[in-house]
């Protein structure tokens, strides 16, 4: 498989465009910020082929038009833009001309590989809208599974759409997702505010097999995970979340001390979650300030999870630990979350940034 980005970089806003022509050995320019990159290797369809970044072009944004790059339609190549929302990173693909994703889940797994691929938590496809919406968003996780929605991903999606459509300033549009209608709004400062809709609390709809203990919801319920009793609250933001602030051994978590790689999978695959679950471990800093770490279903430990931050605030309110408007600190940075009493909707505000542009043979 040939790819455009078997590298790790943090480009400046001024120089970050990737393209695809002049062969330059990667070792000789590894310290540079890149304008564009395409590797010359074998097809993505061959599962035995490693991904390499054997050649690339270096240039400046002034010389390469973003619009012309995204408009390219060469046969056999997939053009993409890599974005991140607080370090939760995604490969964005313009898929508006097709009702099916341009790559398979198996190909997405290879592209997301951080050693032999581009490296990402998922691949997001920008597709034409259905049922009166402006656009449709689909996503393949790094393990090839398809989640209903992704909060950080939808912010990246919004910025990608604005770039594709040459939209500037404050903009909003409707997006069809597996979790239903989502409405992102790009703010004047470039951050994206997203109406994430109403949280789902009914146990069977989260879904969880844990018995409801507050109306039809699971709030501060006991969950036995490998012999440890955790207190959990279950929330769906269109995708399932299990939120915990502590266990019988430690009622108040210090999240930096958690061995997430060990405990996270035990929650994700617990028999009480028939669709598996995302899990948020939360430390209360103050009534308006929470700190969390997340183990994402299908992606593992990530630097940020937008739907998870929303679920955390809902759970904190239900357990009486925090107010309806909170700053939630994630490993990648903070998100502003508000659960409005007036309409019962959860609103998330945070950044989404371009990392680089590239092309990959498919």
Catalytic residues: 150, 305
Tokens of 29: 């320019």
Closest by CA position to 81, among listed 12, 157, 139: 157
Rounded (5°) CA angle 222-225-228: 75
User: Coil, helix or strand for 75?
Assistant: coil
CA–CA distance, 36 with 18 (Å, rounded to integer): 2
Residue 70: count other Cβ atoms within 10 Å of its Cβ: 16
**45 burial level (CB within 10 Å; 0-12, 13-18, 19+):** middle
Q: Are 162 and 178 within 8 A, CB to CB?
A: no
Closest by CA position to 156, among listed 132, 139, 181, 131: 139
End-to-end CA distance of the chain: 8
């Amino acid at each position: 498989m040939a790819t455009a980005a078997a590298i790790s970089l943090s480009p400046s806003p001024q120089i970050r465009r990737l393209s695809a022509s002049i062969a330059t050995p990667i070792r000789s320019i590894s310290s540079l910020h890149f304008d564009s990159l395409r590797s010359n290797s074998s097809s993505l369809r061959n599962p035995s082929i490693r991904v390499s970044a054997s050649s690339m072009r270096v240039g400046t944004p002034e010389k390469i038009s973003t619009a012309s790059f995204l408009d390219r339609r060469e046969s056999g190549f997939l053009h993409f833009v890599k974005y991140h929302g607080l370090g939760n990173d995604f490969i964005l693909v313009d898929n508006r001309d097709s009702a099916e994703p341009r790559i398979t889940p198996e190909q997405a797994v290879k592209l997301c590989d951080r050693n032999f691929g581009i490296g990402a938590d998922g691949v997001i496809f920008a597709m034409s809208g259905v049922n009166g919406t402006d656009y449709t968003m689909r996503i393949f996780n790094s393990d090839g599974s398809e989640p209903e929605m992704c909060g950080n991903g939808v912010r990246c999606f919004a910025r990608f759409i604005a770039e594709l459509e040459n939209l500037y300033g404050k903009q909003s549009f409707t997006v069809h997702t597996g979790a239903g209608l989502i409405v992102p709004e790009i703010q004047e400062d470039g951050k994206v505010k997203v109406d994430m809709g109403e949280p789902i609390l009914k146990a069977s709809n989260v879904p969880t097999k844990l018995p409801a203990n507050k109306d039809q919801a699971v709030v501060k319920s006991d969950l036995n995970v490998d012999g440890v009793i955790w207190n959990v609250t279950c929330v769906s933001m269109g995708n399932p979340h299990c939120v915990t602030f502590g266990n019988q051994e430690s009622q108040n978590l210090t999240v930096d001390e958690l061995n997430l790689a060990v405990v996270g999978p035990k929650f994700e695959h617990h028999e009480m979650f028939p669709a598996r679950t995302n899990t948020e471990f939360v430390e209360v800093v103050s009534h308006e300030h929470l700190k969390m770490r997340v183990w994402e279903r299908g992606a593992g430990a990530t630097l940020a999870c937008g739907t998870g931050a929303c679920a955390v605030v809902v759970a904190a309110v239900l357990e009486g630990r925090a107010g309806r408007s909170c700053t939630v600190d994630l490993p990648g940075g903070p998100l502003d979350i508000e659960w409005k009493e007036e309409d019962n909707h959860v609103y998330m505000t945070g950044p989404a940034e371009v990392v680089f542009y590239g092309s990959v043979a498919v």
